[in-house]
Chain A
Amino acid sequence: MIRMLPVFNLLVLLATAVLIPVFSKRVFTKIKQISTVAMIFATVSSVISLAYVVQIEGYSIVFGGYTSAIGIELTIDAFSALFAVFISALAFLIIVYSFADITHEIDEDQYGSYYTLVFILLFAMMGMTYTNDLFNMYVFMEILSLTSCAIISIKRKKANYLAALRYLVLNTIGSLSVLMGIALIYMVSGHLNMGQISLIIRDIWQLYPGNIVVALGFILTGLSIKAAVFPLHVWLPDAHSNAPTPSSALLSSIVVKVYVIATIKLLFKVVGADIVTSLQIPPVITIVAALGMIMGSIFAIGQKDIKRMLAYSSVAQIGYIFLGIGLMSEQGLSAALFHVISHGFMKSALFLSAGAIIYYKNRRNIKLFDGLGYQMPVTMIIFSFAALGMVGIPGFSGFMSKFYLLVAILEAGVPFYLGVILVSSYLNAVYYLPIIISAFLKEDKEGVRTMKVEKLPKSMLVPLIIIGVVIVSIGFYPQLIMQFIELAVATLIN
Chain B
Amino acid sequence: MELLTSILDHINYIGAAALFVIGLYTVLTHSNLLKRIIGINIMETSIFLFFVSIGYVSQGQSPIIQLSETTAIYVNPVPSALILTGIVVAVSITAYALSLIIKLYKAYDTLDYFEIMEKSQEVSSND
Q: A residues engaging B (CB < 8 A)?
A: 135, 139, 142, 146, 149-150, 153, 158-159, 161-162, 164-165, 168-169, 172-173, 176, 179-180, 183, 186-187
- Contacting residues, chain A, for B82 (C-beta < 8 A): 135
CA A158 – CA B93 in complex, angstroms?
20
What is the CB-to-nearest-CB distance from B39 to chain A, in angstroms, rounded to a whole number?
9
Set of chain A residues within 8 Å of B96, measured between Cβ atoms? 146, 149-150, 168
* Interchain CB contact under 8 A, B104 and A173: no
Distance in Å: Cβ of B52 to nearest Cβ of chain A: 10
Query: B residues within 8 Å of A by Cβ?
Result: 20, 24, 27, 33, 36, 40, 43-44, 47, 50-51, 54, 79, 82, 85-86, 89, 92-93, 96-97, 100-101, 103-104, 107-108, 116, 120, 123-124
Is B89 touching A162 in the complex (CB atoms < 8 A)? Answer: no
Partner of A168, one of B47, B79, B93, B116: B93
Give the 10 A-B CB pairs with smallest separation, nearest first: A158-B107, A142-B89, A165-B100, A183-B51, A187-B54, A161-B104, A161-B103, A176-B43, A179-B47, A172-B40
* Measured CA separation A162–B118 after assembly (Å): 12
Contact of B97 with A169 in the complex, beta carbons under 8 Å: yes
Complex Cα distance, B95 from A150, in Å, reads 12
Q: Which chain B positions have C-beta within 8 A of A149?
A: 96
CA distance A186 to B44 in the complex (A): 18
Label chain A's interface by main secondary structure.
helix
CA distance A441 to B97 in the complex (A): 47
B100 x A153 contact (CB < 8 A): yes
Instruction: Decide: A169 near B40, CB < 8 A? Known: A146-B96, A187-B54.
Output: yes
What is the CA–CA distance of A161 and B97 in the complex, to the nearest angstrom?
A: 10
- Chain A neighbourhood of B43, CB < 8 A: 173, 176
Q: List the A side residues contacting B89 at CB < 8 Å.
A: 139, 142
Which of A158, A169, A186 is close to B36, meaning CB atoms less than 8 Å apart? A169
7 contacts between A and B (CB under 8 A): A146-B92, A146-B93, A158-B120, A161-B104, A162-B104, A168-B96, A172-B93
Q: Min CB distance, A168 to chain B, in Å?
A: 6
Question: Which residue from B40, B86, B100, B101 sits with its C-beta under 8 Å from A179?
Answer: B86
| A146 to B116 alpha-carbon distance, docked (Å) | 23
With CB as the reference atom, state the residue of chain A lying closest to B28: A173
How distant is the Cα of A198 from the Cα of B94 in the complex, in angstroms? 35
Question: What is the distance, in angstroms, from B46's C-beta to the closest C-beta of chain A?
Answer: 9
Contacting pair B40 A173 (CB below 8 A): yes
Contact B120 A162 (CB under 8 A): yes
Closest beta carbon of chain A to B40's beta carbon, Å: 5
Task: Tell which of B24, B86, B107, B124 touches A161, judged by Cβ atoms closer than 8 Å.
Answer: B107
Complex-state Cα separation, A139 to B123, whole angstroms? 38
* Given A142-B89, A150-B96, A176-B47, A159 contacting B124 (CB threshold 8 A): yes
Q: How far is the CA of A70 from the CA of B53 in the complex (A)?
A: 20
From B44, B92, B108, give the contact of A176 (CB < 8 A).
Answer: B44
Residue of B33, B50, B101 near A180 (CB, 8 A) is B50
| Given A165-B101, A165-B104, A169-B40: A183 and B47 interface contact (C-beta under 8 Å) | yes
**Cα distance, A187 to B107, chains bound together (Å):** 46
Name the distance in Å between B24's Cβ and chain A's nearest Cβ.
7
A90 vs chain B, min Cβ distance (A): 27
In the complex, chain A residues whose CB is within 8 Å of the CB of B27: 169, 173
Contacts of A164 in B (CB 8 A): 100
Query: Which residues in A have their C-beta under 8 angstroms from that of B116?
Result: 162
Chain A nearest CB, measured from B26 CB (Å): 11
The answer to whether residues A165 and B47 also contact, given A139-B85, A173-B24, A180-B20 and a CB cut-off of 8 A, is: no
- On whether the beta carbons of B54 and A183 are closer than 8 Å, the reply is yes
When chains A and B are docked, how far (Å) is the Cα of A176 from the Cα of B79? 16
A135 CB contacts on chain B under 8 angstroms: 82, 85
Known: A139-B89, A169-B97. A183 touches B50 (CB 8 A): yes
CA distance A59 to B55 in the complex (A): 32
Nearest CB on B from A328, distance (A): 30
Do A158 and B108 have beta carbons less than 8 Å apart? Answer: yes
B22 to chain A, nearest CB (A): 13
Complex Cα distance, B54 from A178, in Å, reads: 16
Q: Write the chain A residue with the least CB distance to B44.
A: A176
Chain A residues with Cβ below 8 Å from B100 are: 153, 161, 164-165, 168
Contacts of B47 in A (CB 8 A): 176, 179-180, 183
A187 to B10, CA, bound (A): 14
Q: Which partner residue on chain A sits nearest B92 by CB separation?
A: A146
For A176, list chain B residues within 8 Å (CB): 40, 43-44, 47
CA distance A172 to B104 in the complex (A): 19
Minimum CB–CB distance from A218 to chain B (whole Å) comes to: 10
Which residues of chain B come closer than 8 Å to A142, judged between CB atoms? 89, 93
What is the bound-complex CA distance between A142 and B97, given in angstroms? Answer: 14
